[in-house]
């Protein structure tokens, strides 16, 4: 991989500038127009054939280089999170009050995966080898949309393997499963009336939302231990003197298996219908998306770990360490240990790990066989093709995902170190798969064992279209 890794070294500055530009754009899911265009243009200049606007999403793209097999794909993301605008500062300082920010580091994720794809392309050219390299620009991971719709359209079907990564606080392999999920909006329609003079003539849609939420909160006692149900009220009425004619809540329903999600979801629908009956409101159910749990492929996980150890590790500077210590000082009491539990760090390791500020080594996977208490649409890809995923240290140990601290670090130089490590390890792993048919056969056999050899049905209806305006109120 000398030619490919050399390309990354020679283009480090340009890659970091691309990541920083996407960090500045801070575009939320399905609104990532400038971010997607930057990635598409970069890939086109490197000789990839780029198709932008796939699967009904203007900011989704597939870029390809080469011909024949094997076909190795790299998964990238670039969506930001609402409300997490933040300067590169160890104090909470929004750049745009109420604006979006990269509190999950997807600016680094997308560029790191893109760099791996380009590096592998240069190595194949140097060797004169056949094979196809693909990069997938996947929008709206935060709302679990992009890859699910891309998978339903068959965009991953030709892949022999998929590789990706995620900014985190450790250099290791993501071996845990994740939670399958349904995302759904419940819209109640009532009748407006003067809340004081003629309340008897009104039907409160907000009452229906609140009654539904109460019913769901009682349901929590009767679901599997690892299930998660959470919601926000996205519309609750205008002013107190008007009986709300329309109200809406947005739910995420999660569990370790899709079948468990379906069972809980069916009960929640019954609760919503009951709330409508109790108030006289009508109910509209707006299904947004569903996703599968993640299947880590043990063959690809082993390759990624080996190559992380071979690649040059993160070279944090004294300035990086100083910034990390300042970020660490902003943590809430007990945050470090709580964050480590969330990342499935075993209790016997937690105290030693909590003593670190920046993780500079390579850790063996510590989450194998566990379930991460979150969801990712990488799960839908992992059921279709062998999928491997690593994490790289871009934030201080103890940093919570989806926080202003994560946003600050994702735009700081320390984030670049993890991005470059991930790019090199993934490029090397892609090359191993391109040049060793036996490894691919073993990875595919592992996937077949995990799925029973069955292709899972799409978790979304065939006529459902991507919710392009889902976060439109958060446009820059």
Q: What is the pLDDT of residues 52-82, one digit of tens each?
A: 999 999 999 999 999 999 999 999 999 999 9
Give the DSSP H or E segment for 274. Answer: helix 258-279
Which of 263, 258, 260, 267 lies closest to 289, judged by CA? 258
- Which tens digits make up the pLDDT trace of 188-215? 999 999 999 999 999 999 999 999 999 9
Residue listed under structure tokens 């109460």: 214
CA-CA distance, 189 to 82, in Å (whole number)?
27
Task: Report percent pLDDT > 70 for the chain.
Answer: 100
CA-CA distance, 168 to 399, in Å (whole number)?
8
For helices 2-10 and 12-25, what crossing angle results, to 10°? 60
CA-CA distance, 302 to 364, in Å (whole number)?
10
The CATH fold assigned to 2-178+293-451 is Aminopeptidase (3.40.630)
Start and end residues for every CATH 3.40.630.10 domain found in the chain: 2-178+293-451
pLDDT at 342: 81
Mean pLDDT of 171-190: 97
pLDDT at 341: 84
Mean pLDDT of 362-379: 93
Which of 369, 331, 307, 370 lies closest to 169, judged by CA? 331
- Kindly tell me if the per-residue pLDDT of 366 is higher than 70: yes
DSSP category for residue 352 = H
pLDDT at 240: 96
CA distances to 70, 299, 311, 346, 445 from 438, in Å: 12, 11, 23, 34, 11
Cβ 80 vs Cβ 59: under 8 Å:
no
CA-CA distance, 398 to 401, in Å (whole number)?
9
Start and end residues for every CATH 3.30.70.360 domain found in the chain: 180-291
- Which tens digits make up the pLDDT trace of 91-140? 999 999 999 999 999 999 999 999 999 999 999 999 999 999 999 999 99
pLDDT at 340: 87
- Kindly tell me if the per-residue pLDDT of 476 is higher than 70: no
Mean pLDDT of 156-184: 97
The pairing of strands 180-189 and 246-255 is: antiparallel
- Which tens digits make up the pLDDT trace of 310-361? 998 788 999 999 999 999 999 999 999 888 888 888 888 888 888 999 999 9
- Kindly tell me if the per-residue pLDDT of 44 is higher than 70: yes
Which residues 6+ apart lie within 8 Å of 42 measured at CB?
18, 114
- Which tens digits make up the pLDDT trace of 434-473? 999 999 999 999 999 999 999 999 999 999 999 998 887 7
Mean pLDDT of 372-389: 96
- Which tens digits make up the pLDDT trace of 293-312? 999 999 999 999 999 999 98
- Kindly tell me if the per-residue pLDDT of 378 is higher than 90: yes
Indicate the CATH number of 180-291 among 3.30.70.360, 3.40.50.150, 3.40.1500.10, 1.20.1250.20: 3.30.70.360
pTM for the whole thing?
0.95
């Amino acid at each position: 991989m000398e030619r490919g890794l050399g390309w990354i070294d020679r283009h480090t500055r340009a890659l970091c500038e691309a990541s920083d530009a996407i960090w500045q754009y801070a575009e939320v899911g399905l609104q990532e127009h400038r971010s997607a265009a930057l990635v598409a243009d970069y890939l086109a200049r490197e000789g990839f054939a780029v198709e932008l606007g796939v699967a009904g999403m203007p900011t989704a793209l597939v870029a390809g280089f080469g011909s024949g097999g094997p076909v190795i794909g790299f998964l990238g993301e670039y969506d930001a999170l609402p409300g997490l605008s933040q300067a590169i500062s160890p104090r909470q300082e929004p750049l745009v009050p109420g604006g979006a920010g990269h509190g999950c580091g997807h600016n680094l994720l997308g560029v790191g995966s893109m760099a791996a794809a380009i590096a592998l392309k240069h190595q194949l050219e140097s060797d004169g080898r056949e094979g196809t390299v693909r990069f997938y620009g996947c929008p709206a991971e935060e709302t679990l949309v992009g890859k699910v719709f891309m998978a339903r359209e068959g965009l991953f079907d030709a892949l022999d393997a998929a590789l990706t990564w995620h900014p985190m606080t450790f250099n290791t392999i993501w071996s845990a499963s994740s939670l399958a999920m349904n995302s759904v909006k419940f819209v109640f329609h009532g009748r407006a009336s003067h809340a004081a003079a003629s309340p008897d003539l009104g039907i409160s849609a907000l009452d229906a939302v609140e009654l539904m939420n109460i019913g769901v909160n009682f349901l929590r006692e009767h679901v599997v231990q690892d299930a998660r149900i959470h919601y926000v009220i996205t519309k609750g009425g205008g002013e107190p003197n008007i009986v709300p004619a329309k109200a809406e809540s947005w739910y995420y329903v999660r569990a370790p298996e899709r079948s468990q999600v379906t069972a809980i979801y069916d009960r929640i629908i019954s609760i919503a219908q009951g709330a409508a009956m109790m108030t006289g409101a009508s109910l509209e159910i707006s299904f947004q998306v569903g996703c599968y749990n993640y299947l880590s492929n043990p063959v690809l996980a082993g390759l990624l770990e080996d190559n992380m150890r071979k690649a040059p590790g993160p070279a944090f500077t004294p300035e990086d360490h100083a910034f990390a210590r300042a970020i660490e000082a902003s943590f809430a009491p007990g945050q470090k240990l709580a964050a480590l539990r969330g990342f499935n760090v075993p209790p016997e390791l937690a105290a030693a790990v909590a003593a670190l500020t920046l993780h500079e080594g390579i850790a063996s996977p510590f989450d194998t066989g566990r379930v991460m208490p979150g969801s990712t649409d990488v799960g839908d890809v992992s059921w279709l093709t062998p999928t491997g995923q690593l994490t790289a240290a871009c934030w201080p140990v103890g940093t919570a995902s989806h926080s202003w601290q994560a946003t600050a670090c994702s735009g700081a130089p320390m984030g670049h170190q993890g991005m470059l490590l991930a790019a090199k390890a993934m490029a090397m792993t892609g090359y191993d798969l391109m040049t060793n048919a036996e490894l691919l056969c073993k990875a595919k056999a592992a996937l077949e064992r995990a799925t029973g050899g069955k292709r899972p049905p799409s978790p979304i209806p065939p006529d459902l279209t991507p919710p392009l305006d889902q976060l439109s109120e958060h446009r820059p």
